Amino acid sequence: MNKKLIYKYLNNKASETEIQKIYNWIETSENNKQEFIALKKAWAMAPAENLTSKTIALKQLQAKIKKKPTFTTQTILKYAAAVVLLISVSFYFKNHYSNTPIENEVVLELGNGNTQKLTNTTTNKVITDTEGHVLGKQQANQIVYTNTEPITNNATYNTLKVPYGKTFRVVLSDSTIVHLNAGSTLKYPVQFAGLNNRKVTLTGEAFFEVTKDKAHPFIVETNNINIEVLGTKFNLSTYNNDDFAHCELMEGAVLVSETNNPKNTMHLAPNLQAKWSKTTKTFKLNTIDINNHISWIHGELIFKNMPFPEMLKKLERAYNVTITNNSKTLAQQQFTGSVNVKDDVTNILNLLKIDTPFNYSIKNKTIKITQPH
C-alpha cells in the first residue's frame, strides 16, 4: 500500500474510493493491519511542525472558521471600537484572572487505582503499570499505547480524566485515536488483544478515529447512549449537565442506541447527527456541518444559533471557570459565531456586551453576569 495514500487518509484528505481501498487492504491480511497500526501510531507521535499535511489541514479549517460571521446575534466584531476595549480588558484579565493557578491536571488512573498526573512534556515519558510493564509513551498532551500484546490473562483498564480548561489525546493499542474535550473521562482496556470487542466508556465529549476491524466492533458506552462501529470517525458528546446527548458522524457508519433501551436505535451516515433527549427519551436526526462540531479539537468553539445558557457551558469547560448569569435578556438570546480558546474569556464577554449590554464581575475563577444598572 502506498504510504502517501495512508497519510492522506489520516489527514482527512482521502476520497470515499481511496478510503474503501485502504479498508480493503487492511482486511486482506494481519500483516497489512499491523503495518497500518504502526503507520498510524508513527503519524500520531510525529511533531505537528513536521507534518505538512496536518498544518495545511489545520490552516484550511481555520480559514473556513474565519470566513464565518463572528460573534453576536449578527456580527459583533465589525465594531472597531471593540479593539480599544479589548486592550484594556486584556490587561485587567491577565492580572486578575489568568494568574490564578490551575488546580487540576490531566490524571491517568491505572487498573489498581493508583494515579499519575500527566503534566505537559516535550520529551517522551514512558508509561508503565505497577509491575513495570511498559504500556506506552506520553508526549505533550497525548498518550500512545505501544504494547499490543496481553500482559495478563485478565483485561486491565486505565482511566483518563481531563479537567475543564484542557484537552487531551490518547492513541489506543489498536491505533484508534481519541481526542478528549475538557471535562471528559475515558475508561479503556490497556490492550484489546484477546477481547471479543473493543469497548470503552465515556463521560463528556470525544472525537474518535476508529481503526477498522470487522472481527472486533468498537463500542462506546455512556450513561445515555451507546455507539457501535467497525471503523469510522465520529464525535460523541454526553456531558452529565447537558439536556441532550448527541453523536455526529464524519466518515463511515455508526449504530446509536439508548443505553437503557437497546432496541431504541438510529443508524447514521456522514454529516448526520443523532440527538437524544434526556427528557423525552427520543432520538432526533439532524443534517449538520461536521466541522462545527469538531472544531474544538483545534482550539475553536463554533456556535450556530446557540442559546446563551448552552454557550456558557461550553465556555466554562474551555476556560475552567464558573459563570452565573442573572440577565434574563441574555438567557433568552441565541448567538452565532466562533471563539479561539486562546483568547481571554473576558474578550468574549466584552464583545457580547456591545450587542446586549450587561455587567459582569470576576472573583477567583467565578464570573457573575448581571443586568446593567
Contacts of 121 (CB under 8 A, 6+ apart): 138, 139, 140
Kindly state the percentage of the chain with pLDDT values over 70. 79
Cα 148 from Cα 170, distance rounded (Å): 15
For the beta carbon of residue 278, count every other beta carbon within 10 angstroms.
14
Cα angle, residue 172 at apex, residues 169 and 175 outer, rounded to 5°: 100
Cα 333 from Cα 237, distance rounded (Å): 23
Q: Give CATH for domain 106-294.
A: 2.60.120.1440
Q: Is 360 helix (H, G, I), strand (E, B) or coil?
A: strand
Domain boundaries, the chain: 3-59, 68-99+300-370, 106-294
Q: Indicate the pTM of the whole model.
A: 0.74
**Please, what is the average pLDDT of the chain?**
80
Which of 210-219, 263-272, 276-285, 331-340 bottoms out in mean pLDDT, i.e. has the lowest? 331-340
State the number of CA atoms in the 13 A half-sphere of 70 facing the CB: 17
DSSP 102: P
Q: 165: phi > 0 → left, psi -120 to 50 → alpha, else beta; which?
A: left
Grid cell listed for 191: 490492550
Q: Taking the mean position of all CA atoms in its chain, how far away is CA 250? A: 13
Per-residue pLDDT band for 226 (boundaries 50, 70, 90) equals very high
Cα 274 from Cα 32, distance rounded (Å): 33
Q: In the CATH scheme, what architecture does the domain 68-99+300-370 have?
A: 3-Layer(bab) Sandwich (3.55)
Q: Which pLDDT does position 152 carry in this prediction?
A: 58
**Cα-only R_g, the chain:** 22
- Tens of pLDDT, residue by residue over 268-307, are 999 999 999 999 999 999 999 999 999 999 999 998 889 9
- Tens of pLDDT, residue by residue over 340-373, are 888 888 888 888 887 778 899 999 899 999 988 7
Residue type present at position 72: T
- Give the H or E element holding residue 84: helix 81-93
